[in-house]
Amino acid sequence: MNTEIILSNYENAKKVYAQYGVDVDKAIEKFKTIPISVHNWQGDDVSGFEGSEGIYSENVVTGNYPGRARNGDEMRQDLEQAFKFSPCKHKLNLHSMYAEPKEKRERNEYVTEDYRTWIDWAKKNNLGIDFNVSYFTHPMMKDGCSLASDDENVREYWIQAGIGGRKIANDIGEELGQVCINNTWIPDGTKDIPADRGAYRKRLENSLDRILETPYDKKNMRDVIEGKVFGIGTESFVVGSHDFLLAYAIKNGIGITFDTGHYHPTEDVADKVTAIYPFVESINTHLTRGVRWDSDHCLIQNDDLRNILLEIKRQDLFNKNVDLGLDYFDATINRVSSWIIGIRAAGKTLLDVLLEPSHLLKEAEKNHKLTQRLALMDEFKSLPASAVWDYLCMKEGKGVGSSWLKDMEVYEQEVQLKRD
């Protein structure tokens, strides 16, 4: 698409939106203030940089596409390549298993300086960093449990990892001048029916209490916890279920993470925003694409994603302790391209909802004009948000339409395939 067509489409789009009382320039300004936290673990299939080959055990990741990042330098190179094709504001979402210490340490011994390469890279690229302790794929998991284990030595190991992780998150946030979201998710649970669910959950509660003892400045670091319906090996019982961790977050004044791949397919995650936001410190989102069950497929534009972002927008909650992040892993396609597809899907959807004339829907609802509300709601789905997106990508040199695919073909041949 040539420049003249893009500019013409953009000017026409501005006129269309103006008819509905929407200022496109203001929507773009707002768009540029809302960060999307990009998950580093897509780059290497959640392998990490530990162990003899950077991995303790295999995660359930589908595919074996060539060109996987094998170390921090390669992963940062891949992330920079992905960011080249996104006009969004970015943060990095980093798991603790991607530390780069000068000397080998246990996972519960990591300190802030073990992430110095990541911090300096983030400074160079004007990025914030969010943090996650990796409570998985490690020999100190016992019978599928970490913080809820009945082995005191196992629990203590992971408690110390959690305590250290919060200190690291605080230091990162303070140094970068952007709040670091410190997310806690554990895979603890049982394959078959437990006899004493309460004992597991009491141990988890006590472990979380220990981890959260030290107060930190909220402008540097915010704590969030993430639940799940079930997973492979935890089909019958998940200790950190949604109900348990939501209750814990409310009781202890911390935030909750909505991972959109961690719910039953019939649940409406968008509805949870206003149901939960008034009672928790913050809401963090891990945007992914669930397929049939708990899943982490590459994010694309769909109704689930749009409805969540619409709900946040209609309640005016962006940049008000509601945070956006990505969480998926796909090795059936080029890993960097998967990043690009997901980031652009989130960005396009975010811009689309910011452009929605929500005030007209609320006005119709207030006046009990329900036919008008539904008609407008459906009409607004076909407003020319894509023309605004194309203009933004052209203006910032981020690749219009699918033009980025040609660049990625070159990158794959000249960089990624030479790794294997």
pLDDT digits (tens, 9 = 90+) for 108-141: 999 999 999 999 999 999 999 999 999 998 999 9
Q: Alpha-carbon distance 138 to 390, whole Å?
A: 44
Query: In this model, does residue 297 exceed pLDDT 90?
Result: yes
Q: Alpha-carbon distance 263 to 276, whole Å?
A: 15
Query: In this model, does residue 202 exceed pLDDT 90?
Result: yes
For 238, the domain range is 35-356
Residues 6+ apart with CB under 8 A from 255: 181, 222, 223, 224, 225, 249, 280, 281, 282, 283, 284, 321
Which residue carries 């935030």 as its tokens?
A: 255
Residue 173's pLDDT is 98
Residue 265's pLDDT is 85
Neighbours of 266 (CB within 10 A): 5
6 domain residue, yes or no: no
Q: Is residue 378 among the annotated active site residues?
A: no
Q: pTM to 2 decimals?
A: 0.96
Neighbours of 120 (CB within 10 A): 11
Which residue carries 């509660």 as its tokens?
A: 205
Q: Alpha-carbon distance 263 to 242, whole Å?
A: 9
Q: Is residue 294 among the annotated active site residues?
A: yes
Q: Is residue 259 among the annotated active site residues?
A: yes
Q: Is residue 297 among the annotated active site residues?
A: no
Nearest CA-CA partner of 84 in 383, 410, 377: 410
396 domain residue, yes or no: no
Q: Is residue 228 among the annotated active site residues?
A: yes
Residue 230's pLDDT is 86
388 domain residue, yes or no: no
- Catalytic-role residue among 90, 95, 228, 348: 228
Residue 1's pLDDT is 76
386 domain residue, yes or no: no
Query: In this model, does residue 375 exceed pLDDT 80?
Result: yes
CA distances from 383 to 60, 176, 400 (A): 39, 38, 19
CATH classification of the domain holding 122: 3.20.20.150
113 domain residue, yes or no: yes
Task: Kindly state the DSSP code that residue 107 receives in the 8-state scheme.
Answer: G
Mean pLDDT confidence for 319-334: 96
How many separate domains does the chain show? 1
Mean pLDDT confidence for 9-23: 98
Q: Is residue 262 among the annotated active site residues?
A: yes
Residue 51's pLDDT is 66
pLDDT tens by residue, 42-86: 999 999 999 644 444 445 567 899 999 999 999 999 999 999 999
Query: In this model, does residue 420 exceed pLDDT 60?
Result: yes
11 domain residue, yes or no: no
CB neighbour burial string for 213-252, b if at least 16 within 10 angstroms, e if fewer: eeebeeebbbbbbbbbbbbeebeebbbbbbebbbebbeee
Say whether 380 sits in a helix, a strand or coil. Answer: helix
Residue 3's pLDDT is 96
Residue 60's pLDDT is 57
Residues 6+ apart with CB under 8 A from 301: 345, 348, 349
DSSP string across 177-237: TSPEEEEE----EESS--S-HHHHHHHHHHHHHHHT-S---TTTEEEEEE--S--TT-SSE
202 domain residue, yes or no: yes
- Catalytic-role residue among 259, 311, 330, 352: 259
- Catalytic-role residue among 158, 185, 389, 404: 185
200: tokens are: 């597991």
219 domain residue, yes or no: yes
- Catalytic-role residue among 226, 304, 356, 390: 226
Q: Is residue 327 among the annotated active site residues?
A: yes
- Catalytic-role residue among 296, 311, 330, 412: 296
Q: Is residue 150 among the annotated active site residues?
A: no
Q: Is residue 138 among the annotated active site residues?
A: no
Residues 6+ apart with CB under 8 A from 316: none
Query: In this model, does residue 393 exceed pLDDT 80?
Result: yes
Q: Alpha-carbon distance 114 to 42, whole Å?
A: 21
